[in-house]
């Protein structure tokens, strides 16, 4: 399975991010390009252990079960999945170039990340391997959303 921890995969993702035009529109959903970039940047900060979000009760009940389903194969993530409230971006516009640059810098930091586990706000404690696979799927999902 593809993982953001793989340098070749990471460079391909960065190429896809850089190829997004500033006027890109989503194929589904309601996010603007800026909102998607900022959302992904916040997600990466969580995945790298820089930010911690509290878990809700439902995540303790279903998180591990759903994680198993998400990571069982190469199938892309489903459309319309909900996200943590703190990662929902309400301002429609902002500095697209700055968000891209910050997100890419975070992605490049996977090359020397030392965190062995992270607490995901829905899936709970995840290994570096699991988070790398989920990060790839999450990024790929949003790049596909914007034809990237």
In a domain, 133, yes or no: yes
Mean pLDDT (whole number) for 62-83: 94
In a domain, 130, yes or no: yes
The dihedral through the CA atoms of 78, 71, 126, 37 has a sign that is: negative
The total domain count for the chain is 1
In a domain, 1, yes or no: no
Question: What are the structure tokens assigned to 117, written together?
Answer: 């586990």
Residue 109 CB partners (closer than 8 Å, separation 6+): 48
pLDDT over 90 (residue 148): no
Which residues, in sequence order, are bridge partners of residue 127? 117
Q: What is the pLDDT of residues 9-60, one digit of tens each?
A: 999 999 999 999 999 999 999 999 999 999 999 999 999 999 999 998 999 9
What CATH number does residue 97 fall under? 1.20.120
In a domain, 43, yes or no: yes
∠10-53-107 over CA atoms, to 5°? 15
User: Whole-model pTM?
Assistant: 0.94
Residue 112 CB partners (closer than 8 Å, separation 6+): none
The whole-angstrom separation of Cα 1 and Cα 72 is 9
In a domain, 44, yes or no: yes
Q: What is the pLDDT of residues 90-105, one digit of tens each?
A: 999 999 999 999 999 9
Q: Which pLDDT score is estimated for 81?
A: 84
Enclosing domain of residue 81: 7-145
Helices (H), the chain: 7-19, 33-47, 57-70, 96-108, 128-145
In a domain, 2, yes or no: no
∠131-140-130 over CA atoms, to 5°? 15
CB 66 within 8 A of CB 122: yes
């Amino acid at each position: 399975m593809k993982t953001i921890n793989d340098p070749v995969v990471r460079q391909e993702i960065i190429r896809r991010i850089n190829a997004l035009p500033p006027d890109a529109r989503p194929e589904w959903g309601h996010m603007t390009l800026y909102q998607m970039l900022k959302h992904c940047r916040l997600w990466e900060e969580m995945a790298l252990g820089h930010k911690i979000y509290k878990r809700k009760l439902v995540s303790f009940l279903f998180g591990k079960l759903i994680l198993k389903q998400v990571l069982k194969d190469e199938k892309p993530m489903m459309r319309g999945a909900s996200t943590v409230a703190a990662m929902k971006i309400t301002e429609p516009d902002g500095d697209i170039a700055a968000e891209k640059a910050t997100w890419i810098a975070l992605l490049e930091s996977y090359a020397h990340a030392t965190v062995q586990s992270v607490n995901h706000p829905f899936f709970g404690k995840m290994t570096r391997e699991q988070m790398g696979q989920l990060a790839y799927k999450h990024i790929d999902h949003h790049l596909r959303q914007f034809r990237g």
